[in-house]
Amino acid sequence: MTGDDDTPRMGFFTDTSVCIGCKACEVACKEWNAIPEDGLELTGMSYDNTQRLGSDSWRHVAFIEQRKPFGGPEPALTHEDVDVFAAASRLGTDPGSPDGHTELRWLMASDVCKHCTHAACLDVCPTGSLFRTEFGTVVVQEDVCNGCGYCVPACPYGVIDQRRDDGRAWKCTLCYDRLGVGMEPACAKSCPTESIQFGPLQELRERAAARVRQLHTAGVTDARLYGESPDDGVGGDGAFFLLLDEPEVYGLPPDPVVTTRDLPAMWRHAALAAASLAALAAAGFARRPR
């Protein structure tokens, strides 16, 4: 998919294997988009103070603790690269284990709106508030949104949310205003490890496939891509991820499907039923004695 004038489709590739959980993306997103504060309360979920994406959290860094080894450093890397890789692995010991040497790891991942190829939110919006940009992204125009909320249950990822004060829907715009003047999104600009990468979607997919091969060679066999396939239930995501475990571990649906996929068939059945009723009514009037 390309935008107007053959503009390439733009998107995000988030490589969770090098996310250090710094939350710079969350802060940059809030600062640039003037998003209200939230997440100032302790949740009891490690260092995760926002818990999920929402109207006031367009980026969410998840912290997932596991008793599972990550894998060793990659071969032929510089000392600086090994340091980054080791920081990403977050290995430690569990003092509560019998031998005190059970390995622990944190899986850290910065989640965001997926900017689906087949976006159900676009299908159900009655006002045109949601629209597809020339960059292939999906944006909400808050001044057009009437707060109906149809888009909230339509999203297969549970991304879109309504603000309590006015009921309007809000989500990541992939910094549409920045893209229009040739700048990259604020979250990608602020990421210190390049965990969040921005660019033409096809180029990102090729880069992501190479990164998976690199991790597999290094012994990180659990590395996999999520949302990159154009053949999945939403036609591929404009924001996809490299994960180190099953999608469910990160709170992501394993097989997302556009919720409006059956709408055309439903409308056809409804039209057929209406036509049948009209034909029966016409036949009934035709048979009435005059």
Instruction: Provide the annotated binding site.
Output: 19, 22, 25, 29, 113, 116, 121, 125, 145, 148, 151, 155, 172, 175, 187, 191
**In the sheet where 196-200 sits, what is the strand order?**
196-200, 10-15, 239-243, 224-226
Q: Backbone phi, then psi, for 25, in 5-degree steps? A: -65, -40
Give the residue ranges of the annotated binding site for [4Fe-4S] cluster. Answer: 19, 22, 25, 29, 113, 116, 121, 125, 145, 148, 151, 155, 172, 175, 187, 191
Q: For residue 56, give the nearest of 146, 138, 160 by alpha carbon.
A: 160
* β-pairing verdict for 239-243 and 10-15: parallel
CB 21 within 8 A of CB 116: no
CA distances from 93 to 62, 96, 185, 249, 259 (A): 21, 9, 37, 21, 43
